[in-house]
Structure 1
Amino acid sequence: MKRRLRVGLLWHTFGHPNLGVDALARANSALIRRAAAMAGIEIRFITLGTPTRPGIDVPPDVEIGPHPSIRQALRGRSRFLAEVRNCDMVFDIGEGDSFTDLYGARRFAFQAGTKLAVLATGTPLVLSPQTIGPFAAPHHRALATSILRRAKAVHTRDHLSTEFAEALGVRQVKEFTDTAFALPYEPPGPKGRPRIAINVSGLLYAGGVSMRLDYRALTHSIIEAFSAVGAAEICLFAHVNGTNPPDTDEPAIDELARRFPQTTRIQSFTDSTAAKTFIAGADFVVAARMHAAIAAFSSGTPVVPIAYSRKVNGLFAGLDYPHFVDAQSDDLERATTTILAAFQQRQQLAQAVAVGRRLAEARLDAYVDELALLLDQVVSRHPNRIHEPA
């Protein structure tokens, strides 16, 4: 008898223009797959949430499922609900940081509504490691609290989210780390001259986040400073693609490449694995997108993240890595000095990265152990439905 499970991947989007979301989908499904193998379970996935673009490479055990539609649900013909009912378990990663009302009521409604739909079907809901909150509106906080308390398990990726969830009275919360640390990549080949890779955030460059640091001025400052040294190739790369500013990084990078012709504009990547492979070949990275920083860190590359929100500070502080710019408190002079000093001390940064990587790997090992237990519990409770002839 072969033990089998059909697992829903809620808000896991393969091929998302934000490569961080793509990285979460690929890495978390790989970790669930690893846990299933440990438990002796054959697993099949179906995605639930943002649709995948055509032509995207998707693992063979992943089926691309439906996008939730309120109109269909009201008509009683919701394919989303039908697919949820056919799942034995649903893992929801919330695209990393979307379970909050920071991005507006509509986005919160979609995040909360889909979670409530899963709970309403009786399908076990597990929140995979992600940022939880904040919820500014009292009615949003009350609804989120109800969802979190009813979930089978709640997993966070940083201590701030853990403390926030516990303050809401969530007892089944466990802290691990960002699953994107497990994203695979191709090891770099032989290197020539040193390569400085600067990940530019179009959102921050357009002033889309309220913070003390003048990010546009900082970007100009470090490009000019590295150009004056002249010993390294300066590469500009995106980690959010597409044509919808300010969410995309590409227009800002194109502008910078015209302004600083001595830089190399890296062609945009089709998926997060390709991006991480490039990042792994750099000698030093400045990353404004959190998952670009994670790609560097988890491939052993010295990196200075630009921490513009608590999700970034909490994640890297939790890995004993203090080498980041705090965009909410640092001014231009301090941020520039931090980055240039880090470049000069990149061997020491590499040692700190190695220590942090071991911490992240240990936490992901613990996460896989937890997943294996959860998957086994579902199989054990429904033996007639799950156990089929091989």
Structure 2
Amino acid sequence: MLTVGLLFFSSNSDNLGVGALTVGQIDILRGISRATGIDIAVTVFDWVGSRPAYVEGPDITIRHLSGEVMKDPRKVMAMFRECDLILDIGAGDSFADIYGPKRLNRMIYLKYLAHLSRCPVVLAPQTFGPFTSWLTRPFARDLIRRAVLVATRDDHSTAALRALGVTRPVVTASDVALRLPPEGSAPIWGRPTVGLNVSGLLMAGGYTGRNQFQLVADYPTAMRDMIGQLLALPERPEVVLVPHVISPQTPSEDDYTAALSLQKEFSDVTVAPAFKTPGVAKAYIASLDFFAGARMHACIAAFSSEVPVVPLAYSGKFEGLFGSLGYEATVDCRALGQDALVQSVLNGFRNREALARQARIARAVGQDRLRDYTEALARVISEVALRKRSGDQMRRASGHQWRAMDERL
């Protein structure tokens, strides 16, 4: 039995996008297990949450990383040493300084503990950077150098690694959430239906409350204008507000709270349920005729279901992911004003049949790229399993020699 740890994934996050990464990656690991005959047990290192775990099975174990546990690096390293291999996905896009130093510092701390535990680490497909601070760039380079396999989820991230000075081989893959299976039944609509994901985080101005992501338009005003114009279209579409971060204990991030507030202003809109799992959310989104939103994994749920979608980007990760696959419908909220933003979504709805064809082709490209990552990961797993059987654990990244200094990091 080979134990694979998942770091910076989540089994219970209120952000269903992070959960979609977990479910998608576990689906990939189970496929590798079937293909190679290697029994794989998965340990998810997670924080305690109020939501029930949405990954389960006899092959799944959840270990909690609390603040108290993290204060003792020896305890954390002991947990990591129970694994034969660790997959680190950086929460998709958090191995960067875009979200502030606190999140990045915690991430760097745990990454080094994983390496100091002498467990080989795979950097699973993710967005790398931006690393704008001169303080963070050397740590980023070093951590990438130590990994046994590095995969990005888009061309932009691969280019960013090269600009950072990374010369090692990198697999340019795609987002593992493309492998998320839908779960449960979906509604049946009687007329054309538009799904709109309104980000509670952007409605609040980001984590700082002061337009943290430097959007050109006033986001709340643009969303109200968009809803009004969608409702007024000649097709009289059903407009459904679809939350993808459902976190009632943190209203400043909660899409569901934002949706209910807008429903009070626009009584003709429908608010989708507070989904329990990423798969249930995907099944619901797959039932729609058109989708637009600022939560990237809500857009991926639409895209991977071949629902025409206009992603509303607040960072470069959107264009990086979708553009790398040849899907050219992303709208950059950091560059467009309110009128242009709203019109881009309305035009997307009018041209939804063409967008659906484009999504179908681009989705196939994404699946091909994920196959490249799956094959590379399968080779790593096979090597680790072989070394384990022979009693020679692969406890260092290729080409990295451990030094006494490493033990003091």
TM value normalised by structure 2: 0.89
Q: Which runs of 5+ in 2 are unaligned?
A: 207-212, 394-409
Q: 1:339 pairs with 341, 345, 363, which one?
A: 345
TM-superposed CA distance for 1:68, in Å, is 5.6
Partner of 2:83: 87
Q: 1:380 pairs with 386, 394, 402, which one?
A: 386
Conservation of the 8 A alpha-carbon contact between 1:152 and 1:172? no
Post-superposition, which runs of at least 4 consecutive aligned residues in structure 1 deviate over 6 A?
none
Superposition map of 1:58-207 within 5 A: 58-60=55-57, 61-67=59-65, 69=67, 72=69, 78=75, 80-170=76-166, 171-186=168-183, 188=186, 191-207=189-205
For the residue of structure 1 that corresponds to 2:3, the secondary structure is strand
Conservation of the 8 A alpha-carbon contact between 1:379 and 1:386? no
- Output the amino acid matched with 1:105: P
Q: Distance in 1 between matches of 2:80 and 2:128?
A: 23
Q: Return 222-231 or 50-59, whichever deviates more.
A: 50-59
Residue 233 in structure 1 maps to residue 233 in structure 2? no
Q: Per-residue displacement from partner, 1:121-180 (whole Å, max 9, x unpaired)?
A: 111000100011112221211111111111111111011111111222321321100111
Partner of 2:306: 300
Q: Provide closer, same or farther for how the CA distance between residues 273 and 72 of structure 1 changes in structure 2, counting only shifts above 3 A.
A: closer
Conservation of the 8 A alpha-carbon contact between 2:18 and 2:92? yes
Q: 2:374 pairs with 360, 365, 368, which one?
A: 368
Conservation of the 8 A alpha-carbon contact between 2:204 and 2:253? no
Q: 1:214 pairs with 198, 212, 218, which one?
A: 218
Q: Distance in 2 between matches of 1:140 and 1:57?
A: 33
TM-superposed CA distance for 1:276, in Å, is 0.4
For the residue of structure 2 that corresponds to 1:14, the secondary structure is coil
Q: Return 108-117 or 56-65, whichever deviates more.
A: 56-65
Conservation of the 8 A alpha-carbon contact between 1:48 and 1:65? yes
- Output the amino acid matched with 1:348: A
Conservation of the 8 A alpha-carbon contact between 2:291 and 2:308? yes
Q: Distance in 1 between matches of 2:192 and 2:88?
A: 40
Conservation of the 8 A alpha-carbon contact between 1:68 and 1:114? no
Q: Distance in 1 between matches of 2:323 and 2:51?
A: 38
Aligned-pair Cα RMSD in Å: 1.9
Q: Distance in 2 between matches of 1:236 and 1:333?
A: 20
Q: Return 264-273 or 292-301, whichever deviates more.
A: 264-273
TM-superposed CA distance for 1:250, in Å, is 2.1
Partner of 2:397: none
- Output the amino acid matched with 2:6: L
- Output the amino acid matched with 1:179: V
For the residue of structure 2 that corresponds to 1:374, the secondary structure is helix
Q: Distance in 2 between matches of 1:212 and 1:74?
A: 41
- Output the amino acid matched with 1:221: D
Conservation of the 8 A alpha-carbon contact between 1:14 and 1:22? yes
Q: Distance in 2 between matches of 1:102 and 1:194?
A: 37
Partner of 2:355: 349
For the residue of structure 1 that corresponds to 2:385, the secondary structure is helix
Q: Distance in 2 between matches of 1:83 and 1:75?
A: 11
Q: Provide closer, same or farther for how the CA distance between residues 169 and 106 of structure 1 changes in structure 2, counting only shifts above 3 A.
A: same
Partner of 1:290: 296
Conservation of the 8 A alpha-carbon contact between 1:11 and 1:50? no
- Output the amino acid matched with 1:43: I
Conservation of the 8 A alpha-carbon contact between 2:88 and 2:121? yes
Q: Distance in 1 between matches of 2:258 and 2:71?
A: 41
Conservation of the 8 A alpha-carbon contact between 1:36 and 1:375? no
TM value normalised by structure 1: 0.93
Partner of 1:322: 328
- Output the amino acid matched with 1:193: R
Q: Distance in 1 between matches of 2:25 and 2:218?
A: 34
Q: Return 350-359 or 365-374, whichever deviates more.
A: 365-374
For the residue of structure 2 that corresponds to 1:138, the secondary structure is coil
TM-superposed CA distance for 1:77, in Å, is 5.4
Residue 19 in structure 1 maps to residue 34 in structure 2? no
TM-superposed CA distance for 1:236, in Å, is 0.7
Conservation of the 8 A alpha-carbon contact between 1:166 and 1:173? no
Conservation of the 8 A alpha-carbon contact between 2:48 and 2:66? no
Aligned length: 382
- Output the amino acid matched with 1:194: P
Q: Distance in 2 between matches of 1:163 and 1:198?
A: 32
Q: Report percent identity of matched pairs.
A: 36
